Structure 1
Amino acid sequence: MTSNNLSPTDTTQLSGVSPYLGARVFALLFTSTARGARLARRLVAVRLDEWGVPYGTGAHETVVLVAAELATNAVRHGHVPGRDFRLALRVDDGLARVEVTDTRAERVPPRPGQLPGPGPEPADGGRGLLLVEGLAERWGWCPRPGAPGKTVWAECALG
């Protein structure tokens, strides 16, 4: 997490029930480190369980795995020294949306459907998004509005 020591229940973050159609929303900044990616994965797992998507279910495991891959990619490919990444989780109407925003604009993933096929793993990795593409209903990315960087997102069905 960022150095301002926000707790997972701090009221300055988005958490709990959204005023928009009863959606559950959680968002937090994490340090752009392996530890930050692990913490992001763990907090997604906890939030899903609290929101009625229990541990051990296929939907829980899928969303946590997708969040872990996107957070790891933000650390591995989107890291800018001194900058954090932001993870947002939204659960609404049987769908979970995970968004991970980093501050590195010049390294962008391929568009959905344009990922390299099976074969030897590239030197810089590159297989995590194949996993995301296989697990998520939809995924994509867009430039970060008003600042350098990008947001990679994925939507997973919960039912």
Structure 2
Amino acid sequence: MRAMDRRGNDPRTPAVRLPSRNALLAMANALAVRTGWAGRDREVSWLLSARPSAVPAARRLATARLSAWGLHRQAEAAELLVGELVADALRRCGGRIRLALRVDDGLLRCEVTGLFAGPGARPGPAPHQSLLARLACCWGVSGQVAWFELPAGGGHAH
């Protein structure tokens, strides 16, 4: 007879670890990109859980979507800036984080919104302002939203 733990499970059987909500979002987006569906819309947003997995998930989401949109030249800078803004939102908010990307009128705009929850959450200035100033053509912070823009037509921000 096999030994069982208090819950009746065999301790020799490895536990199944389910992916986080953020990882599931990234997988769903990757599927949308592979099937060609993601290239149709020029505006998208995701609601990320306020967990450490939000940073790599946001980077993967942004990179995959920009690739689907044919914005390969902007992907590296956008991935770096998205990661920084999401990491800052994690430090400042206690709720979920919305990542939104939009291509319009020759610009890629990214917005990261920290959906604040609780008395400990606080809005603050954008992180790494020198990084934003160096890589983005423009950026700003308004309340709970930090944003940046990159030229969508190719080339560098400045």
Give the structure with the higher percent helix. Answer: 2
1:92 aligned to 2:104? Answer: yes
Aligned residue pair count = 121
Counterpart residue number, 2:83: 68
Output one character per residue of 1:110-134: Cα deviation in whole Å (capped at 9) or x when no partner.
6xxxxxxxxxxxxxxx5x2321122
- Which structure has the bigger radius of gyration? 2
Q: Write out the 4+ residue segments of structure 1 that deviate beyond 6 Å after TM superposition.
A: none
TM-score (ref. length: structure 2): 0.66
Identity, in percent, stands at: 35
Q: What code does the residue aligned with 2:114 have?
A: D
Between the aligned partners of 1:106 and 1:79, the Cα distance in structure 2 is 6
Specify the SS of the correspondent of 1:34: coil
Give 1:40 shift: 0.7
Aligned to 1:106: 122
More RCO (CA 8 Å, sep 6+): 1
* Contact 1:45 1:64 (8 Å CA) reproduced: yes
Instruction: Measure the CA separation in 1 of the matches of 2:21 and 2:140.
Output: 26
2:80 and 2:115 mapped to 1: Cα distance?
A: 22
Which ranges in structure 2 are unaligned for 5 or more consecutive residues?
A: 1-19, 33-37
Is 1:40 aligned to 2:58, yes or no?
Answer: yes
**For residues 95 and 135 of structure 1, what CA distance do their matches in structure 2 show?**
14
What runs of 5+ residues in structure 1 fail to find an aligned partner?
A: 19-23, 111-125, 144-149
RMSD: 2.3
User: 1:2·1:84 contact (CA, 8 Å) conserved in 2?
Assistant: no
